[in-house]
Amino acid sequence: METTFECLALIPQLLRALDDEGYTTPSPIQRDAIPDALAGRDILATAQTGTGKTAAFTLPMLQHLHETPARGKNLRALILTPTRELALQIQENLDAYGRHLPLKSTVIVGGVAAGPQIAKLRRKPQILVATPGRLLDLMGQGEVRLDAVEIAVLDEADRMLDMGFIRDVRRIVSSLPAKRQTFLASATLPKEITQLANEMLLDPTRVAVAPTSAVADNIEQQVLFVEKTNKRALLAEVLKEQDIDRAIVFTRTKHRANRVARDLVKSGISADVIHSNKSQGARQRALGDFDAGRVRVLVATDIVARGIDVDDITHVINFEIPNEPESYVHRIGRTARAGAEGVAMSFCEEDELPYVRAIERLTGIELESTDDHRFHSDRIATLRASNSGATTRLSGSSNRRPKSDRASGNGRSDGNRSRRRGRENKQAATAKNSLSGNRPNGARHGSSRSDESGNRGKPRRGASSHNGNPTSTTTESPSTPASKNSISSKTVNRAAKFGRGRRPAA
C-alpha cells in the first residue's frame, strides 16, 4: 500500500497545508526520515536537491515547535544554509507548510542591509534560516542568541565545505546547546563532513537517497564534440533551433558566465547570469525573471548550482564540463524534477575528454554522443573513441583544468593534422570503448552531544556509546525521482503561479 502523509502521524494543520499545495505522497526521504525526526532522533541524510529533503526536516520541526511549550520567547530552531537563494527558498517552504500554525520564522542572509533583518529578529521568531557569515555578524552584535535552540539543521553541508564555511559552521555549532535535535543533510560525505557529522549527531538515523553517482533515468544525456572556438556559436544554434523552453547553461568560471550571457543577449536570446559575485538584489532579480519566464536562459556557475530550484527546466547545458564528476550530477539534477523529463547536453572540447571519462566512471553510464549539429568535431570524436586519445589522457589527474587559452588545433599545420586524423580514424575503427560500464528506540530531545572540539557530554540513558560512527541502520531509498504529487525540494505553490491545475491524489 502506498504511503501517504496521513501515515506519517503529522498533525492536521500540516496535512491541511500539504493538501493546499496539492501534495499527498511523501518522497522516499520524507517517508524514511519524518517518523524518526518526529520521535526526536538525529538525522543524517545523504540526499541531493530535488529529493524533498526540505520538507523532511521542516515538517517535523514545525510539528515539534507547535506541540512543545515554548520556554520564553527565545529562538527555538536554526536552519543553516550555504547560499542566500537556498535560505530564501526554505523560508518560502516554512511559510507554506506553517500557514495554519501560529509560528513565526525569518531569514537572515548577507549581501543586503542588516537593518531590516535585525528588526525582524527583534519580533522574536521561533525559527531562523541563515547563512553562516551574516549569522556570525549578528551574533557578534548581540542580536542573535542560540542558547535555547531545540532543533538545528545543517543543509547542504558539503557545499558549506566547498565554499569555505566549515570554520564558521563550527563556531556556530559551538554556541548551540548540547541538548538539541540535529538534522544534517549533504549530497556527498567527504572526510571533513563525516567528521563534522560525528561531532554534531548522536546515534543518528541514516537516510540515503539518490547517491551522488546516480542520475535520474528521465534525463536524456548527450555529449556534443566541438572545437573550443565554436562553442559559443553552437550554444546559440542549439538555443535557437531546438525546442527549449527553459534552460540553464553552466560554466566553470564567473568570467566565462558573464561572457556567455552577453553573447546570448547579442544573439537575440533572452538570458541572465547568476554567480557568487552578483549582488543579492541582482541574483534575486535574475532568478525571479527566470522563474517567471521573462528570461529563457540562465547562465550559472557551480557555486550556486544547488541554490537554483525552478520548475520546468527542460534543458541543462554544460558549456564547460565540470572538472569534478560529482558536479556534473548536481548540475543536470536541475532538470527532470518531480517526475518530469529533461535533457542534459555537454559541449566537449579536446581538453575536456578526461572529464567525460571521469563522469562515465562515476555514473556507470556512457554518455551518448550526437553529431546532429553544424559544429561537430570528427577529430575530437575520434580521440574519444580511441585508446590513444581519451583513455591514455585519462591516466593523468581527472581534476586537471583545461589549458584555458588554447584553441584546439592551433599551432598545427594542415598536413600534420591530416596525417594524425588518418591514424586516428584507423584507431577508431578497432578501438571504440564503452563503459560497463536497528534503530535505537527512545526520544531524542534531552540527550547531550559534542561541543565544537568534538568532546561529548554524557550520553542518553540507554544509548549505546558513540564510537565515531552512526549506530543506526542506514535506510536506503530508491534513487528514482519523486512523483509529481510528492514534495520535491522545489519552492512550493508554483502550480498556481504558472496556472497549472492541482496534482491528482495518488
Mind giving me the DSSP string for 121-150? HTT--SEEEE-HHHHHHHHHTTS---TT--
Radius of gyration of the chain (CA): 24
Q: In the prediction, which pLDDT does 199 show?
A: 94
Average pLDDT of the residues in 1-7: 85
Is 284's pLDDT higher than 70?
yes
Mean pLDDT of the 165-179 span: 96
Q: How far is CA 502 from CA 23, 100, 493, in A?
A: 9, 20, 10
CA separation for the pair 313, 307 (Å, rounded): 14
197 near 44, Cβ under 8 Å?
A: yes
Band (pLDDT 50/70/90 cuts) for residue 452 is very low
Please check the confidence at residue 457 and state whether its pLDDT lies above 70: no
The answer, yes or no, to whether residue 431 has pLDDT greater than 60, is no
Render pLDDT for 229-262 as a digit per residue (tens, 0 to 9): 999 999 999 999 887 889 999 998 888 999 999 9
Find the mean pLDDT for residues 23-32.
Answer: 90
pLDDT of residue 304: 63
pLDDT at 55 over 80: yes
Average pLDDT for residues 6-12, to the nearest whole number? 96
Query: In the predicted model, is pLDDT for residue 275 greater than 90?
Result: no
Please report, rounded to a whole number, the percentage of residues in the chain having pLDDT higher than 70.
74
- What cell does 66 get? 507547535
- H-state helical runs in 50-145: 53-67, 84-97, 114-121, 132-140
219: left (phi over 0), alpha (psi -120 to 50) or beta: beta
Q: What is the predicted pLDDT for the residue at 268?
A: 94
Q: Which of 61-65, 104-108, 463-467 has the lowest mean pLDDT?
A: 463-467
Q: Range with the lowest mean pLDDT among 3-7, 47-51, 284-288, 326-330?
A: 47-51
Answer with the residue of higher pLDDT: 287 or 250: 250
Angle between helices 191-200 and 166-174 in degrees, nearest 10: 10
Whether 377 has a pLDDT exceeding 90, the answer reads yes
Burial (CB count <10 Å: 0-12, 13-18, 19+), residue 179: middle
Report the mean per-residue pLDDT for the chain. Answer: 78
Three cell numbers written together for 100? 495554519
**Residue 486 confidence class, pLDDT cut points 50, 70, 90:** low
pLDDT at position 392: 31
Q: Using one digit for the tens of pLDDT, what is the confidence trace for 179-198?
A: 999 999 998 888 999 999 99
Q: Region 158-186: what's the mean pLDDT?
A: 93
> pLDDT digit string (tens) for 123-139?
999 999 999 999 999 99
pLDDT band of residue 497 (cuts 50, 70, 90) is very low
Residue 506 has pLDDT above 90, yes or no: no
Q: Grade residue 216 by pLDDT with cuts at 50, 70 and 90.
A: confident
Looking at residues 310-329, what average pLDDT do you find? 88
pLDDT value at position 456?
35
CA distance 487 to 34: 13
C-alpha 175/C-alpha 479 separation (Å) is 36
**Which position has the higher pLDDT, 323 or 92?**
92
| 418 has a pLDDT exceeding 50 | no
pLDDT beyond 80 at 395: no
- Write down the CATH superfamily of domain 219-430: P-loop containing nucleotide triphosphate hydrolases (3.40.50.300)
CA gap 457, 448 in Å, rounded: 5
Question: Superfamily assignment of 23-210+477-497 in CATH?
Answer: P-loop containing nucleotide triphosphate hydrolases (3.40.50.300)
Average pLDDT on 370-390 reads: 82
The helix or strand, by DSSP H or E, that contains position 81, with its residue range, turns out to be none
Residue 287 pLDDT > 70, yes or no? yes
Element (H, E) at 490: none
Query: Where along the chain do its domains lie?
Result: 23-210+477-497, 219-430
Alpha helices in 364-465, H assignment, sequence order: 378-385, 392-394, 414-430
What is residue 252's predicted lDDT score, i.e. its pLDDT?
86
Contact between 489 and 56 under an 8 Å Cβ cutoff? The reply is: no
Residue 241: which residues within 8 A CB-CB, separation 6 or more?
Answer: none
pLDDT recorded at residue 487: 58
pLDDT tier for residue 338 given thresholds of 50, 70 and 90:
confident
Sign of CA dihedral 447, 461, 464, 438: negative
- DSSP-derived letter for residue 486 is B
pLDDT at 405: 35
Percent above pLDDT 90 for the chain: 51
Average confidence (pLDDT) over 205-211 = 81
3-state SS record for 354-384:
HHHHHHHHHHCCCCEECCCCCCECHHHHHHH
Which pLDDT does position 482 carry in this prediction?
43
State the DSSP string of 222-243: EEEEB-GGGHHHHHHHHHHHS-
pLDDT score for 157:
93
- CA dist 17 → 6, 102, 129, 153 (Å): 12, 13, 20, 22
CA atoms within 13 A on the CB side of 261: 22
